[in-house]
Homo-oligomer: A and B are copies of this chain.
């Protein structure tokens, strides 16, 4: 019987620009008695990645466009924040009920183009999504390998709302060392029936599992280890595998 463990990484310092995230995570994991092991999956929330990468914007330095001002007025929101959301968007998918659902530069569809006000120090600072979250994940993965010799998959997570269900869950926006989707088409079930449609969004499920420990402390825990899950290794998988090609998307 294979039990999977979700291990929170406690006592990370407040992450600042140019911090060596991989080193800080390895140290914290070591200190709490759960050093990273071969085959572990490390889940890291995008906000600390963005903070370490300096991908933070001060709203006081943003000059909002007329369109941003109009939307802000209509929604009762901060015009500078709306301006940043527009700048981070490749296209707007839906607007309504005070929400802007947009397609990010990377192709993810989420509220506010992933611009995040929470867990960012500085009252007027917001975190953008990492510029290339797959590359951020690969960098952390390589660094961990260098520091500890361990082969660890890394996933960068974000919190997304859903079109068809209420409530938010954590999903993957960057992956390294693991296949984001497990393709089970053509496998047979218990009774020999061939599975027709079954592509499991493993990377998203891992992020949702990690959220269970990340959300548990009041102050939030920005990283977690998933141990004991047998995954398909991949050096070229990308979180973009989790994006619908437009022609197949029934809801866009």
CA of A218 to CA of B184 in the docked complex: distance in angstroms?
10
Residues of A192-230 whose CB lies within 8 A of B: 193, 195-202, 204-206, 208-209, 211-213, 215-216, 218-220, 226, 229-230
Residues of B within 8 A of A248 (CB): 97
CA of A198 to CA of B230 in the docked complex: distance in angstroms?
31
Residue of B nearest to A118 (CB): B189
CA of A166 to CA of B129 in the docked complex: distance in angstroms?
20
CA of A191 to CA of B219 in the docked complex: distance in angstroms?
9
Chain A at the B interface: SS class: loop
* A242 close to B (CB within 8 Å): yes
Q: A4-B213, A205-B212 are in contact. Are A189 and B220 (CB under 8 A)?
A: yes
- Residue from A2, A171, A205 with most neighbouring chain B CB atoms (10 Å): A205
Give the number of residues in A that approach B within 8 Å (Cβ atoms): 82
Contact A1 B6 (CB under 8 A): no
* A147 close to B (CB within 8 Å): no
* Nearest CB of chain B from residue A77's CB, rounded to whole Å: 10
Contact A97 B250 (CB under 8 A): yes
Contact B164 A201 (CB under 8 A): no
Contact A1 B7 (CB under 8 A): yes
- Residue numbers of A with Cβ under 8 A of B are 1-8, 10, 14, 32, 34, 94, 96-97, 99, 101, 109-111, 117-123, 159-171, 180-182, 184, 187, 189-191, 193, 195-202, 204-206, 208-209, 211-213, 215-216, 218-220, 226, 229-230, 241-244, 248-252
Identify 16 new A-B residue pairs, CB closer than 8 A, beyond the known A4-B212, A5-B5, A167-B204: A2-B8, A3-B7, A4-B6, A94-B250, A120-B193, A160-B165, A162-B164, A163-B164, A163-B250, A164-B249, A166-B242, A166-B244, A168-B200, A187-B218, A190-B220, A205-B212
Closest 6 A/B residue pairs (Cβ) = A167-B201, A163-B163, A163-B251, A209-B209, A205-B208, A208-B208
